[in-house]
Amino acid sequence: MTASLARRLLRRGSPQLRWQSSFSQAAADRKNDAVAAPELPPFDYTPPPYTGPTAGEILAKRKEYLSPSILHFYKTPVNVVEGKKQYLFDENGKRYVDAFGGIATVCCGHCHPDVVEAIVNQTKRLQHSTVLYLNNAIADFAQALASKLPSNLKVVFFTNSGTEANELAIMIARLYTGCHDIISLRNAYHGNAAGTMGATAQSIWKFNVVQSGVHHAVNPDPYRGIFGSDGEKYARDVQDIINFGTSGNVAAFLSEAIQGVGGIVELAPGYLPAVYNSIKKAGGLCIADEVQAGFARTGSHFWGFEAHGVVPDIVTMAKGIGNGIPLGAVVTTPEIAEVLTRRSYFNTFGGNPVCTAAGLAVLKVIEKEKLQENAFVVGSYLKERLTALKDKYELIGDVRGRGLMLGVELVTDRELKTPAKAETLHVMDQMKELGVLVGKGGYYGNVFRITPPLCFSKEDADFLADAMDLTLSRI
């Protein structure tokens, strides 16, 4: 086609040329709107040169000597050699914004000097003996922890992990009530031991072993659930389970306020009060799993259950409790705690002086540095940024969560909510290359789990959102 003919057709309104013209204009607009590569927020620390084994050497040892069940993120895994505040450094000195926080564990920031000092000082004095002797570290932390909880929740039993804490809570409930039936939620994750695997309700986390006495209620998921955000309708399923699946009496109801492994799923409003009421009438106890949502992470409250206006009978916790130290706890009332005196119940390392010294330091840092307030302010800001990306990209089906416990779900079809599994892995990998580490969760593996240290800043939030924006713009 000659230039003169093209001009004549364009003047006559040729559909083909109109389409070409509009397509070219759209391409130009996209170029003008191109997302700039984000820059890491400034940080006045440079790690010393790393002289240890390379990522390849470590990976080879893992394959030969560690369980094949241990997986790793990314096509090219990151060799993390140092951490400071909300940042991690790899073997080459590259800095990353840590938006996963060791799976919602590092709440004060990596290697917080106050927590490190408490650990070192206690280790120098007494690394371990036994709770059969007296030591102030465990008693001081128990008192401080109890002061953070409502009502008569003031008796603490320390464990080494969240799985152990939930195992103990389930046993306590069964002993106290004399009933065996536990009700938990579909899509829940509560651990990988015998009882907690039963309470967990995702097949990918459950082995084919005997798991008895647990009923899984319909998940009150506002995004994928059958009743949307109507919590009371979901709650009727729990009453139906009591009526038709048990003797009419149950041991306990166990749930997270925000499902972590399940993909940062908030429970529908009105759900927990209605369910707690049904459980109480059935003689059961209400257990709040605060392993991920606790310790100021949600920002609006110190504990996740507080946002629902309920008071549980037992609270389990771990992860953020020690900023990375192996530590968990079960807190309940004096009356309920009494059941453990019927036999001998012991935990060799639960209440270890080094771990409890770290736990006390964590509580002090959260208060001193106003990390709950920061989680609320920065988390709300980041959620707004992520929601704006949802308006921009069809691939984002949902943005949810509270404070610095946020989820971004990717779908290939918004109406059908088809999980975008491959796209999630791609975006995650590309964000890593840009300098952002995020987690992944949900049954389909299509939800970004954003649970950074609570010292996360607005600049970090902007960097994360900009990195996601750039990556999505390239798909």
Report whether pLDDT(7) > 60: no
What's the mean pLDDT in 349-361?
97
Tell me what the mean pLDDT of segment 11-19 comes to: 35
**Residue 168: closest CA among 46, 266, 252:** 252
As given in the structure block, the two tokens for residue 197 are 């695997």
What is the pLDDT confidence band of residue 174, given thresholds at 50, 70 and 90? very high
Is the CB of residue 202 less than 8 Å from the CB of residue 208? no
pLDDT tens per residue across span 85-128 = 999 999 999 999 999 999 999 999 999 999 999 999 999 999 99
What tokens appear for 114 in the block?
A: 């106050």
Query: What does the longest C-alpha to C-alpha distance in the chain come to?
Result: 98
> In whole angstroms, what is the distance from residue 171 CA to residue 178 CA?
10
Rounded to an integer, the average pLDDT of 70-94 is: 97
Calculate the alpha carbon distances from 135 to 350, 406, 457 in Å.
13, 39, 38
Contacts of 445 (CB under 8 A, 6+ apart): 419, 421, 424, 425
* % of the chain at pLDDT higher than 90: 92
Tens of pLDDT, residues 191-225? 999 999 999 999 999 999 999 999 999 999 999 99
- State yes or no: pLDDT of 23 exceeds 90: no
What is the predicted pLDDT for the residue at 36? 86
366 burial via Cβ count (<10 Å: 0-12, 13-18, 19+): buried
Residue type, 39: E
% pLDDT > 70, the chain = 93
Structure tokens of 178?
A: 């004399």
pTM value is 0.92
Q: Is 100 helix (H, G, I), strand (E, B) or coil?
A: coil
pLDDT category at 151 given cuts 50, 70, 90 is confident
Residue 35 confidence (pLDDT): 83
How much is the average pLDDT of 57-83?
96
pLDDT averaged over the chain? 93
Phi and psi for 351 in degrees, rounded to 5?
90, 10
Local structure of residue 471 (DSSP, 8 states) = H
The CA distance from 122 to 276, in Å, is: 41
Whole-angstrom Cα distance, residue 340 to residue 291?
22
Residue 82: pLDDT above 60?
yes
Listed range (6-20, 162-176, 269-283) with the worst mean pLDDT: 6-20
Assess whether pLDDT exceeds 70 at residue 3.
no
Confidence grade of residue 8 (pLDDT, cut at 50, 70, 90): very low
DSSP assignment of 355-382 equals: HHHHHHHHHHHHHHTTHHHHHHHHHHHH
pLDDT of residue 51: 96
Place of tokens 């257990």: 287
Residue type, 304: G
Q: Which tokens in the block code for residue 224?
A: 């994928």
- Residue range 12-19: mean pLDDT, rounded: 35
Q: What is the pLDDT of residue 33?
A: 60
